[in-house]
Amino acid sequence: MITSRLRPRLRERAATPAEAAAPRAKGGGVEGLLAFLGGYLGADALDSIRGACDFGARAHAGQTRESGEAYIHHPLAVARILGAMRMDSRTIVSAVLHDVLEDTDITTGELRARFGDEVAALVDGVSKVSLLEQETREHAEAASFRKMLMATATDLRVIIIKLADRLHNMRTLDSLRAEKKRRVARQTLEIYAPIANRLGMRDLAEELEDMSLCSLYPRRHRAISKRLGEDARGKKSPVNALCEKLGGELRHAGIPARVHGREKSVYSIYRKMQRKKITLRDMRDIHAIRVITETRPQCYPALGLIHRLYKPRPGSFKDYIAIPKANGYQSLHTVVIGPAGQPVEVQIRSEAMHRVAEQGVASHWLYKTETTGEHAPQQLAQRWLSGFLESQQKSLDSGEFLDHLKADLFPDEVYVTTPKGEIKRLPRGATALDFSYAVHTDIGNRCAGARINRRAVALHEALRNGDHVEIITSRSARPHPAWLNYVVTSRARTSIRHFLKQQKEKESFQLGRKLLKQALARQGYRRLRIPSAHKVALLQRLDMKDWTQLLRDIGYGKRPATLAAKQMLAAVQSGGESGGEAEDARPAMVIEGTERLLVTHAACCHPIPGDQIIGVMSGGKGLVVHRATCPRRRQIMRSPDSYFHLAWSDSIKRKFQVPLKMETRNEPGVLAAVSNIIAMHGSNISSVQVSARNNASVMSVTMEVADRAHLEDITKKLRAASCVISLARG
């Protein structure tokens, strides 16, 4: 049930006082719609809309919606929503016809012939990709969404029609089965409402959010509605008195303005409770006032006056007039302490800003001249969309596309400055790493550290408004898989994934080559280079085309190197070159320790340079390195095809984690003494666990060392310490 709290302002909203005075067009149906649109459209436009209505009614004849009513009611209702936004006649025509391609036999060609290219393109843009071309419904939905956004990049009206369509579907959600209802509501909350917000269509977004919340969490929705209702009616409400007082003062100061109390939306309260992890009872900021001045220059004097009357809460003033939000939204926001001590949020904006704040890209559609220029919401939306689509060109599948879109639609943003004083806008929660990618992909890929306001910080440090951010790059720095957990922007995520994929391919190729050569050598084939004739012979035998791919498969562990080597030798019939397979003859393969994506170090024995090591191929994971003394070695050596003797390269620069287990005396200061010794030897502790026994403690320490010699230096000192009873590598 949708409660009476939902006041769909778009349903019948008068945009001008003149229209409000005009008699309301009553009833649904074609005549009702035309009478309503007559409020702002001319006779020619109404004629073409009437034509579309007849055409649509014939096309949908006999179809019904799940509620049982004739199908045509739906497109007419969508047209009416767009009429309330005062959209142009082609948009209205397309809205009336928006489902004919999907649900009837009408073709794009017929639409073009009858209604022209523009309408045909708009209707095609909102039509879904056929389910037959896609594997699952999720795929189909994601693909349809992607197609629709592409069409939107050419003509913003596509998404405006789609959103009006979704709004009407949400208003009539109750006729659907419970499960479908939830699915539609969730999708609305995850994609459609955020998109509407991103496009600045606040009115529409608010209604979508509230209806979705009501379907998904009816009880929570009811509780918040009740509280809002009580507050609005209750004597406690400071809003009415405050409005009156402010209105009077503004008049007195000669600033023409409308002042009214603003009920926050149920969904915005819900989000705030979640974000701040507070209960409804602890929610204080639910009072809000809006001041709408005639012109832009009047906004600041109005703010000054309000701050003179009521104390502003420090840190809560935001100037979205000087720096508009990404969707073109402009306003001054402040929170003042009301007469009874409660915080009251105040928004100040001009009439023109107000229209943009409520309707975003749909505002001023008929009078574009009013809002041209680079800050017009339409221009900003277009720029955002083309930027986003461009970042997604590295053709991911539609599901990933949708995930990236969701991440990009994150509602709030922070503004930070570069060392050159440039302002960068990033979504809230964005980190120094996101910033580095926002500056340039190469900066991101070489990012080694960051300084925020001159203080060195971790790469995953979240940015705050006004931060001054500086990125430290290094030639040897490279993206790491863990970085994917540190970023929120789609740009950073896509770039990191792209880099890692390339890197993994490169590493698997190199590892595969080493493995194959070693396997060949083991069988007595000791040429430095494999002649191309031999490569071709092996590829033919395996029915593969690509040598690179074969080596990658070996590197990934999808194909045993020993088998490939045997097959190659059989294929070239060079058995003469083959020697014995004596265990000792196995040459060791050298690893660098930099093959981070494919060579992993076993968690069971933590090998470090200096240790004798063996490696075992494991499918998908690449090569796993174990110490030759690993308790699991017997098990590993049982399959001679997949294990290898390895040797460390001399030029290893990275550090390795090694766990130690110590028995220590149970006395204060032991941990400090231990960590002191470790630090003095240039190592870091990455984790410590202490468990107490009678009069001794067992301390498990994991620390970073360069190699075995480094480790021995440290353990020697630790053993000599009076507090350490015994020590062993864990």
512 alpha-carbon distance from chain centroid: 35
* Region binding Mn ion by CB under 5 A among candidate stretches 163-171, 202-210, 321-329, 654-662: 163-171
What contacts 24+ positions apart, CB below 8 Å, involve 492-501? 492/433, 492/434, 492/436, 492/437, 492/438, 492/444, 493/404, 493/407, 494/391, 494/392, 494/394, 494/396, 494/404, 495/437, 495/441, 495/444, 495/445, 496/437, 496/444, 498/394, 499/445, 500/597
User: Running DSSP on this structure, what letter comes out for residue 529?
Assistant: S
Locate all alpha helices (DSSP H) within 638-682, ordered by sequence.
670-680
Nearest to 465 by CA among 474, 452, 454: 452
CB atoms within 10 A of CB 349: 25
User: Can residue 210 be called a binding residue for Mn ion (CB under 5 A)?
Assistant: no
Distances (CA, A) of 120 to 97, 107, 111, 128, 535: 9, 9, 5, 14, 55
79 versus 335: smaller Cβ distance to Mn ion: 79
* Region binding Mn ion by CB under 5 A among candidate stretches 109-117, 157-165, 185-193, 511-519: 157-165
The least distance separating Mn ion from the CB of residue 162, rounded to whole angstroms, comes to 9
**Secondary structure of 194-252 as H, E, C letters:** HHHHHCCCHHHHHHHHHHHHHHHCHHHHHHHHHHHHHHHHCCCCCHHHHHHHHHHHHHH
165 versus 595: smaller Cβ distance to Mn ion: 165
Tell me if 459 sits within 8 A of 445, measured CB to CB. Answer: no
The least distance separating Mn ion from the CB of residue 148, rounded to whole angstroms, comes to 12
Pairing of strands 589-591, 643-648: parallel
Cα separation, 626 vs 617, whole angstroms: 11
* Region binding Mn ion by CB under 5 A among candidate stretches 162-170, 180-188, 372-380, 405-413: 162-170
How many residues in the shown chain lie near Mn ion by CB under 5 A?
A: 2
List the interface residues with Mn ion, window 328-387 (CB under 5 A).
Answer: none
99 versus 358: smaller Cβ distance to Mn ion: 99
The least distance separating Mn ion from the CB of residue 74, rounded to whole angstroms, comes to 6
The least distance separating Mn ion from the CB of residue 165, rounded to whole angstroms, comes to 4
Per DSSP, which regions of 309-412 are E strands?
318-319, 332-337, 343-350
102 versus 138: smaller Cβ distance to Mn ion: 102
5 versus 171: smaller Cβ distance to Mn ion: 171
Residues with a catalytic annotation lie at: 102-103
User: Can residue 461 be called a binding residue for Mn ion (CB under 5 A)?
Assistant: no
* Region binding Mn ion by CB under 5 A among candidate stretches 134-142, 164-172, 274-282, 494-502: 164-172
Amino acid code (one letter) for 75 = P
204 versus 283: smaller Cβ distance to Mn ion: 204
For Mn ion, the nearest residue by Cβ is 165
Cα separation, 164 vs 75, whole angstroms: 10
* Region binding Mn ion by CB under 5 A among candidate stretches 165-173, 197-205, 311-319, 540-548: 165-173
99 versus 595: smaller Cβ distance to Mn ion: 99
The least distance separating Mn ion from the CB of residue 99, rounded to whole angstroms, comes to 5
Nearest to 362 by CA among 55, 191, 157: 157
List the interface residues with Mn ion, window 1-40 (CB under 5 A).
Answer: none
Site string for Mn ion, 283-312 (x = CB under 5 A): ------------------------------
User: Can residue 165 be called a binding residue for Mn ion (CB under 5 A)?
Assistant: yes
99 versus 461: smaller Cβ distance to Mn ion: 99
The least distance separating Mn ion from the CB of residue 95, rounded to whole angstroms, comes to 9
Cα separation, 167 vs 296, whole angstroms: 32
Helix (H, G, I), strand (E, B), or coil: what is residue 433?
helix
CB atoms within 10 A of CB 379: 15
The least distance separating Mn ion from the CB of residue 56, rounded to whole angstroms, comes to 11
The Cβ-side half-sphere exposure at 607, using a 13 Å CA radius, reads 25
Tell me if 259 sits within 8 A of 290, measured CB to CB. Answer: yes
165 versus 467: smaller Cβ distance to Mn ion: 165
List the interface residues with Mn ion, window 62-121 (CB under 5 A).
Answer: 99
The least distance separating Mn ion from the CB of residue 169, rounded to whole angstroms, comes to 6
The least distance separating Mn ion from the CB of residue 76, rounded to whole angstroms, comes to 11
Chain residues in the site for Mn ion (CB under 5 A):
99, 165
